[in-house]
Chain A
Amino acid sequence: QLQLQESGPGLVKSSETLSLTCTVSGGSIISSSYYWGWIRQPPGKGLEWIANVYYSGNTYYNPSLKSRVTISVATSRNQFSLRVTSVTAADSAVYYCARCLIVEVPSCYFDNWGQGTLVTVSS
């Protein structure tokens, strides 16, 4: 059974860089059928897609975050990661990693989600 687990600091200082890793178990990240993505949810608010990555390294980003975000994949460790630079209080959220099943490149839907990790940006 596929499982995704987010890890990283729960507290980040304003203007610094947020770094999270998603470890995939129960299946290989090397698959032509999936992207791997990050989605976040500020407290009490809705879902916001951040970025997707393919095992080969191809990436897709939310245009509103693209200038501050980097998504990457480490196939040897079955992990993918997220970096968000110059964080502010607006970046405080639960961050989810998820598997995205490809329908028609690059369209996909998220069929497996991690439990999420709360990141708070402090001043």
Chain B
Amino acid sequence: SYELTQPPSVSVSPGQTANITCSGDKLGHKYASWYQQRPGQSPILVIYQDKKRPSGLPDRFSGSNSGNTATLTISGTQPTDEADYYCQAWDSNTEVFGGGTKLTVL
């Protein structure tokens, strides 16, 4: 079965850039999506089709996908960005989520 691998945790200082990676076999040939989940809340979509942002989402969030790795980049990170982030892709009629990355802003 297809697997997506994310680092368990990433730390960043306020105002700096955070990069969260998601690795999978030939992931660059698939569309990657990213979700943000704050504690006690439902996930929300932050990036779809590799690099597109839903309307209303700050342009601090951006995405890329090439080779075996998709990356979520958060520029000028704010304390409110502290959350769990999950990548997602489709493979062989199956939706697959990465294990999630806890972003700490300190």
Partner-B contacts on A (CB < 8 A): 37, 39, 46-49, 52, 60, 62-64, 96, 100-101, 103-104, 106-111, 113-116
Contacts and interface: CB of A to CB of B under 8 A. Distances in A.
B86 A113 contact: no
B96 A46 contact: no
A111 B1 contact: no
Interface of B: 1, 30-31, 33, 35, 37, 42-45, 48-49, 54, 86, 88, 90, 93-100
A106 B97 contact: no
A104 B89 CA distance: 12
Contacts of B94: 49, 60, 62-63
Nearest to B1: A63
Contacts of B44: 113
B42 A115 contact: yes
28 contacts: A37-B95, A46-B86, A46-B99, A47-B100, A49-B95, A60-B93, A60-B95, A63-B1, A64-B1, A96-B42, A101-B48, A103-B49, A104-B31, A106-B90, A106-B93, A107-B30, A107-B31, A108-B95, A110-B33, A110-B35, A110-B45, A110-B88, A111-B45, A111-B54, A113-B42, A113-B44, A114-B42, A116-B42
